[in-house]
Structure 1
Amino acid sequence: MEIRQLVLGAPEFAGRRVLVTLAPPLGERDPRYPLRGREGLLECMAGLFHSGGGGKLIVLHGLGGSGKTALVLEAITRTQGCCPACRRTVWWIDARQEEGLLAGLRAVARQAGLQSDRAWGGDAADVLWSQLNVLTQGWLLVLDGLDDTALLDGPGSLASGTGWIRPQACPTGVVIVTTRNGGDPSWGSGALFLPVRSLHADRAAEVLLDHTGDAAGSPADARELARRLGGLPLALHVAGSYLAEVMGMPDAFKGPQTPDSFAAYVRAMEAGSAPADARQALAETWRLSIELMRRRGFTGTDSLLEALAAFSDAPIPHTLLLRPAPLGAAVHALAGISGPVLWRMLKELAALGLLDLVSSSEAPENVVAVRLHPLIRDLSRTAAALPAAVRLMSAALALEELGSPEDPERWVAWQALTPHVLELADQVAACAEMDASTKLVSAGLATMAARHLQALGLFEQARGRYEAVLAVRRALQGDEHPATLDCRHLLSSALHDLGDLPLARAGYQAVWEISCRVRGEEHTDTLTARHELGRVLHDQGRLEEAHEHLAYVREASGRLNGPRHPYTLTARHEAARVLHDRGCLAEARAEYEAILAIRREELGAAHAGTLTAQHNLAAVLHDQGRLEQALEGYREALAGRRRVLGDRHPRTLQTQYKAAHVLRDLGDHAGAVELMTVTLRASVMVLGVSHPQTVRAADILRVWGADPAPAVGT
């Protein structure tokens, strides 16, 4: 490969002479640190060098710091001396500024054979390409760091092939541009786009380990830091170099908070005290990208990024969260934005590498979410944007299509939104200056997310969220406010699901007593609290007290709402459970059969309430000795719960537990042990080893002569 270097005069710009060099900056390539994770791109570029580019402008685009320049330097180095067909004269122009670009193009024209500076006039672009067109030897022209495509228009237009760059006009040359700006239509149809993305975790971890070896921690720790840095090569290099320097530093020069390992660096980043270099490495990229968007007519880009940065490090379902009307109402700088403009803005930000457009695995052609680069999120996150983000989330959760957080048919959307709701709640709670209104709205959103967690069977997570919301409600609204009572009720339900019956009973008792006083004895919420109190008393074996509460609720709800109302049926169902436990099997069976018929008719066979009635009817049939009928009932309930709730939901495990007992009583010992072992293993994973349901399953296996230890993990 022939590489020419020449420093020469150029036209004066603003009264000064511009000096340029056309030599590739090969000194920036450090052989100690291999280029990781770019094999596919390097192979593609080698093919393009060999073929001459096919008359295409090769556009390497990606976030600043993604390694575009390093990639081109590596491609040049690899083709030097190893592939005669790929050897080319190389011209390298630093294209970040217009004056350097134009001076460089003039120098290229001179090195390509232009005899006189006087020929470099108003038709300079035509002159340049007339010189390049007559070259017989292959050449490579690199324009490095060109973000503003308008600089390439010159006297004509880049897209039309009449600007400064016209690769389709010369079969012997290859033109490569590195840019942050891959989404500008001004590149035209003659451009071949090669995105340079952040590295995947394993390859990104290798970049860190290249700097530190194994002295800074395990490969797993390196992967976690690489993930936190978003796989951005520049940030990885900065962090790796920093850690390598710290590890070689005398202890006397290290401060107590100086991160000296991958894990310590992650902790420092989470605490906001990481070394500034990695953050500064991206700050200028962020600023320049925002300025470029502004020049292209997109105002409010920084405000949009700030709102997105308030959400979690997870795909952001923009079709739910970024609808134009709520977005314009929540973010002042985006007031009146239309759907097409918003969509173009997101695509432009993706082209600049500031965010990714994430496709659904089920519908790969339909983009359903966006995801911010982690460091961009860090740079854009401000407490001032939290109220707008909370308003956006509030509008999303109010959408009719989202439905109830307990509805399994809507769980896909709720699972997409829940991490963002919880992240917002944590940020709002940590912001001492946050206004009370935003705190209360955020608390309401967190309650809905916690309800979804509880519906998924994640009872401990739901409990923690309810406790956090309850603290906010009590501080801002008092113990007797309806919202406070509702939250305390939900907390008690999570405690009940976790098997903590004393705390659940105390919570329901308090809610019922306060609600009687402030709402009235027959208010719907008062009756609901009393109903749940009856359920806990039942589970504690206090059947007479439970019957008293449940009978009152059933009578009152029937009188107020009618005999087929869901509240009435739920109370009737719980009363039937008491009858069952008191040994009144015939009466309990008749009640369950009547309830099941109504629920199938009004709710459908797959509804959670229908499946619960079917489960409890099977339990009565089992106790009546009708084993085949009981097994069939459990199998139908189990199939429904698996389909609706999933294999590991606590209610699914409860049905499996009961079905295993029926198998045992039918003489299928091996089948019973196998099903109970599967149930125990899942219960340990979902509920923990100390949950009553887990303990019962382990005890039963011991009684049956089986060892529960392998399922428990001991």
Structure 2
Amino acid sequence: MSIAQVVVGGRSGDDEPVTLAAPVGERDSRVPLRGREPLVRQLMQLWQAPGDGVLHVLHGMSGCGKTAVALEMVVRVHGSSHAHPCGERVWWVNARHPATFAAGMRAVARQAGVRPDEVQAGGVVDALWERLGHAPYQWLLVVDGVEDLSLLDGPGQLAAGTGWVRPHVCARGLVIITSPCGIARLWGGGAKLHAVRPLGADEAAGLLLDQAGGAQGTQVEARRLGLRLGGLPLALRIAASYLSEAAAMPESLRDAQTPVDFASYLAALDHQKVGVHPAGAVAGAWRMSVELLHRQGLVHARYLVGLLAAFSAAPVPYTILLQPSVLTALPGAEGLDGTTVWRTLSELAALQLVELDSLPLQNKGPLCVSLHPLIRDIARSGPQSAVPVALMERVLALKEVREGPENPDSWAVWRTLAPHCLDLLRWGRNEAAGFSPQDRDVCAEAAERAARYLQAQGLHRQAREALEEVLALRISLGADDLGTATTRHTLALALHSLGEWQAAQDLYEEVLQTLERGKGSTHTHTLTVRHELGRVLLDQGQLHRAREHLAAVRSAREEAGGLEDPDALNARHELARIAHGLDQWAQAHAEYEALLALQQRVSGEDHPWTVTVRHNYACLLQDMGLTQQAHQECVRTLEGRRALYGDDHPSTLSTGYLMAVILRAGKKPQQARAALAEVRQRSALRLGEQHPQTLRCGRLLQLWDGQS
């Protein structure tokens, strides 16, 4: 194998030393190349098989390990038992600087047999590829670090196949190029692109442990740090090197705040501690990528990335947040139409600065885009702008977002939007951010709607925490009791769902008094709160007080909206529960059957309200000793709730508890116990050990175990 250093004449006439040897010293043979084995094997297969004549481009963001893959390829070629009878030649050309690249390619031409006078002539490129096309030996040309693709044009054009590197006809040749650019049209049809993506969490953790050693933390801690660094090998090595150096430093010389393990390094990252954050290592590449897109006419790339970075680290639903109707009139968004947004995001994805959802096959939810964590850190480094708040204000007015978060039809939207609405609370609470009271009110409104979505998903603790913050923010903005009534009502719902029934009752009664004074006893909001007060009294066994409130609500709702008004039907359903609780089983049975038929017609078979009526109907059938009928209704309810909410939602767990009871009554004690034990475990994880649902499961398990 031939790997050499040569001296070539520069254009100025001076001799310029250039090496064509691969920088194998940068490869650490003591540790494995994590996460790249499939790609290296693919490249080796290309080396060992007849060449396809195309340019093989390893592309990815700066620091993702493209050069490391190419180096691994060179080392394996050198150690391969597959040797060509006429020998092999490997050339490594550094393309990071124009002069070095041109000199390196002329050196390759000289070694390939181009005459000295042709090497300095204008036709050297054609002469080089003529020679390589008919070379009797096997050859590998690696062009490393191509940041500016125009460098490869030479006297021709890269995309047209007439540049310094081009498709070839040699069956024994292979061209590998490393570049951050993965925009296929810029490479032309003679190139095949191979994405070198950031490492997955496990591989990133392995790299950290390889480089820093196990003394810096556990696999789990390394995994968390690897995720925070976006799986970027360069950033991972910087972090590992920092920790190794910190660990070697005498403790008396080490600053008390210096991170010394994976966990403390992660904490320092989140606090943007100077000297720790490796984002600077990719900042230059980020700027060059934006400049590349600017030259391509995509002048909004920096603006869009800055806008995306202003939201939370969760995937951003760009088909919602970046709609042209939302962006209209935003400062800096002039000229940003839908086509420009799509083209810019697509090119950013080709540069691996973002990860872009493809069109979904079944999921009807919004498409999302995710920024690489380090790119997000770079883009967030300046002062916080109020533009995202203005954008969110427009988003909240969209038809698909105005739909209540409690409605299942809206869940696909709110699933992606909620993290960003909740993130705005940080800025709403921070008076130093300089946001206007109107902007901070938008933050409160967005977060409250997101909390309602959390509540609908059974994430009651998270909903409570968010609502308490929203309430504090609204009060700080000067809202009176009437202005905070909706927030306090929603907070009471969360408390109710968490089993804090007395606290929920107190808050319901407080809000009810406020609304009766401010809006009247028959206002729809007043009736909604009175309905919920009746429910919490029912759950506490205060059946007669509950019936008083719910009967009044039903009457008012039917008078205003008719017998099939959805809110009237809900009040009627709670009254059926009260009849059940008072052992008025015949009355409850008739009501449940009538309600099921009505809800199926008004709301649909799969609507949460219909499913809830069916659940309580199954409870009644079980108490009446109609076990087989109860089992049939419970099966349908469980299927419905799993489809709506998943296995861990409190409503699903409640039906799971009922199913266990029915199985026990049906003489299936082993199945019943297994089902109840699973419900108790899920309930403890989701709702907590002291939630009434969890405690009820535990007590019943103890009773059953004692009986057996």
Give the equivalent residue in structure 1 for 2:370.
Answer: 371
Say whether the 8 Å CA contact 2:427–2:443 is kept in structure 1: no
Query: Are residues 601 and 130 of structure 1, via their aligned partners in 2, closer, same or farther at CA, if it must alter by over 3 Å?
Result: closer
Residue matched to 1:553: 553
1:296-695 equivalence runs, <5 A: 296-330=296-330, 332-359=331-358, 368-382=367-381, 384=383, 387-396=386-395, 398-401=397-400, 403-426=403-426, 428-430=428-430, 432-433=432-433, 434-482=435-483, 484-665=484-665, 668-695=668-695
Comparing 584-593 and 665-674, the one that deviates more: 665-674
1:88-167 counterparts in 2 under 5 A? Answer: 88-117=88-117, 120-167=120-167
Give 1:500 shift: 0.5
Are the equivalent residues in 2 in contact too, given 1:167–1:173 (CA < 8 A)?
no
* Equivalent residue letter for 2:43: M
1:386, 1:424 within 8 Å by CA — same for their partners in 2?
A: no
- State the Cα distance separating 1:492 from its structure 2 match: 0.1
Q: What's the CA shift for 1:77?
A: 1.7
Q: Deviations over 1:401-447 (max 9, x none)?
A: 45432233443333233233333434554573133222222222222
1:286 aligns with 2:286: yes
Report the Cα offset of residue 184 of structure 1: 4.5
Corresponding residue for 1:36?
34
Alignment correspondent of 2:698: 698
The one-letter code sitting in structure 2 at the alignment partner of 1:21 is T
Determine the C-alpha separation between the residues in 2 that align with 1:390 and 1:294.
26
Distance change (3 Å), C-alpha of 1:69 and 1:509: same
CA distance in 2, matches of 1:83, 1:196: 27
Q: CA deviation at 1:204?
A: 1.7
Equivalent residue number for residue 65 of structure 2? 67
Q: CA deviation at 1:694?
A: 1.6
Superposed CA offset, 1:622-643 (max 9, x none) = 4445554444443443333333
- Tell whether the 8 Å contact from 2:527 to 2:553 is kept in structure 1 after alignment: yes
Inter-partner Cα distance in structure 2 for 1:81 and 1:657: 64
Of 79, 83, 86, 1:85 maps to 83
CA separation of 1:237 and 1:558: change in aligned 2, threshold 3 A: same
Cα distance in 1 between the residues matched to 2:617 and 2:119: 96
Q: Distance in 1 between matches of 2:210 and 2:135?
A: 42
More off after superposition, 190-199 vs 364-373:
364-373
Does 1:46 find its partner at 2:40? Answer: no
Following superposition, the deviation at residue 607 of structure 1 comes to 1.8
User: Displacement of 1:363 after TM fit?
Assistant: 5.5
Decide whether the 8 Å contact of 2:366 with 2:413 is kept in 1. no
Over 3 Å counting, the alpha-carbon distance change for 1:176 and 1:119 in structure 2 is closer
Distance 2:221 2:362 in 1: 34
Deviation (angstroms), 1:63: 0.6
Q: What is the Cα deviation at residue 665 of structure 1?
A: 4.6
Q: Match of 2:30, as an amino acid?
A: R
Distance 1:57 1:658 in 2: 64
The range that moved more, 493-502 or 312-321, is: 312-321
Give how far 1:391 is off. Answer: 4.1
Q: Quick check: 2:167–2:191 contact (8 Å CA) kept in 1?
A: no
In the TM superposition, what are the counterparts of 1:233-272 in structure 2 within 5 Å?
Answer: 233-272=233-272
Structure 1 residue 472: deviation in Å?
1.1
* C-alpha distance 351-625 of structure 1, shift in aligned 2 (>3 A): closer
Aligned with 1:278: secondary structure?
Answer: coil
Tell me, in whole angstroms, the C-alpha distance in 1 between the residues paired with 2:518 and 2:682.
Answer: 43
* Post-superposition offset of 1:707: 9.1
Shift of 1:686: 2.2
Distance change >3 Å, CA 56–CA 364, structure 1 → 2: farther
The CA deviation string for residues 338-364 of structure 1, in whole angstroms up to 9 with x for no partner, is 333322212211121211224478569
2 CA distance for matches of 1:689 and 1:172?
A: 68
Measured at CA, do residues 344 and 85 of structure 1 come closer, stay the same or move farther in structure 2, by a change above 3 Å?
Answer: farther
Could you say what secondary structure the match of 1:141 adopts?
Answer: strand
Describe the SS at the equivalent of 1:194: strand
Does the CA-based 8 Å contact 1:390-1:438 persist in structure 2? Answer: yes
Any idea what SS the aligned residue of 2:113 has?
Answer: coil
How far did residue 493 of structure 1 move? 0.5
Pairwise CA distance, 1:210: 1.8
The amino acid that maps onto 1:644 is: L
Whether contact under 8 Å (1:299, 1:333) holds in the other structure is no
CA 707–212 in structure 1, closer or farther in 2 if over 3 Å, else same: farther
Distance across 2 between alignment mates of 1:119 and 1:606: 76
* Structure 1 residue aligned with 2:23: 25
Measure the CA separation in 2 of the matches of 1:367 and 1:621: 42
SS at match of 1:143: strand
Q: Distance in 1 between matches of 2:363 and 2:392?
A: 25
Does 334-343 or 686-695 show the bigger shift?
Answer: 334-343
Shift of 1:382: 4.8
Amino acid at match of 1:27: G
Q: Which residue identity is paired with 1:213?
A: G
Identical residues among aligned pairs (%)? 44
Q: Secondary structure at the match of 1:140?
A: strand
Q: In 2 relative to 1, CA 530–536 (structure 1 residues): closer, same or farther, beyond 3 Å?
A: same
Once the two structures are TM-superposed, the CA of residue 488 in structure 1 deviates from its matched residue by 0.7
Structure 2 vs 1, CA of residues 156 and 705 (structure 1 numbering), >3 Å: closer, same or farther?
A: closer
Cα distance in 2 for partners of 1:428, 1:150 equals: 46
Which shifted more, 617-626 or 344-353? Answer: 617-626
TM-score (norm 1): 0.91
- In structure 2, runs of 5+ residues without a counterpart are none
For 2:470, what is the secondary structure of its paired residue? helix
Alpha-carbon distance in structure 1 between the residues aligned to 2:628 and 2:118:
102
SS at match of 1:269: helix
Measure the CA separation in 2 of the matches of 1:382 and 1:110: 48
TM-score (norm 2): 0.92
Deviations 1:152-180 (A, max 9, x none): 22222222222222332444433222111
Contact persistence 1:10–1:106 (CA under 8 A): no
Change (3 A) 1:494 1:135: same
How far 1:119 moved relative to its partner? 6.3
Task: Give the deviation of 1:218 after TM superposition.
Answer: 1.3
User: 1: distance between equivalents of 2:171 and 2:570?
Assistant: 79
Deviations 1:686-714 (A, max 9, x none): 22221112212221232333599xxxxxx
* Residues 1:615 and 1:210: Cα distance change in structure 2 (over 3 Å): closer
Q: CA 1:113 to 1:580, structure 2 compared with 1: closer, same or farther past 3 Å?
A: closer
TM-superposed deviation, 1:365: 14
Counterpart of 2:254, as a letter, is K
* Greater shift in the superposed pair: 145-154 or 581-590: 581-590
Displacement after TM superposition at 1:195 (Å): 1.3
1:578-630 Cα offsets, whole Å, 9 max, x none, are: 33333433333333333333212211222222222233334444444555444
Give how far 1:680 is off. 2.2
Separation of aligned partners in 2, 1:134 and 1:668: 80
Say if 1:641 and 1:652, in contact at 8 Å, map to a contact too.
Answer: yes
CA RMSD of aligned residues (A): 2.9
Question: In 2 relative to 1, CA 625–206 (structure 1 residues): closer, same or farther, beyond 3 Å?
Answer: closer
The range that moved more, 535-544 or 191-200, is: 535-544
Q: CA separation in 2, counterparts of 1:703 and 1:119? A: 92
Structure 1 residues 277, 6: CA separation in 2 closer, same or farther (over 3 Å shift)? farther
Deviations 1:453-480 (A, max 9, x none): 1111111111111111111111114133
Letter in 2 for 1:60: L
- Mapped partners of 2:187, 2:561: distance in 1: 67
Task: Please give the per-residue CA displacement for 1:286-323, whole angstroms capped at 9, x wherever unaligned.
Answer: 11111221122111211111111233333333223332
User: Cα distance, 1:398 vs. partner?
Assistant: 4.4
Number of residue pairs matched by the alignment: 704
Kindly provide the amino acid, as one letter, of the partner of residue 445 in structure 1.
Answer: A
**Residue 711 of structure 1 corresponds to which residue in structure 2?**
none
SS in 2 for 1:704: helix
1:365 to 1:233, Cα distance in 2 relative to 1, 3 A:
farther
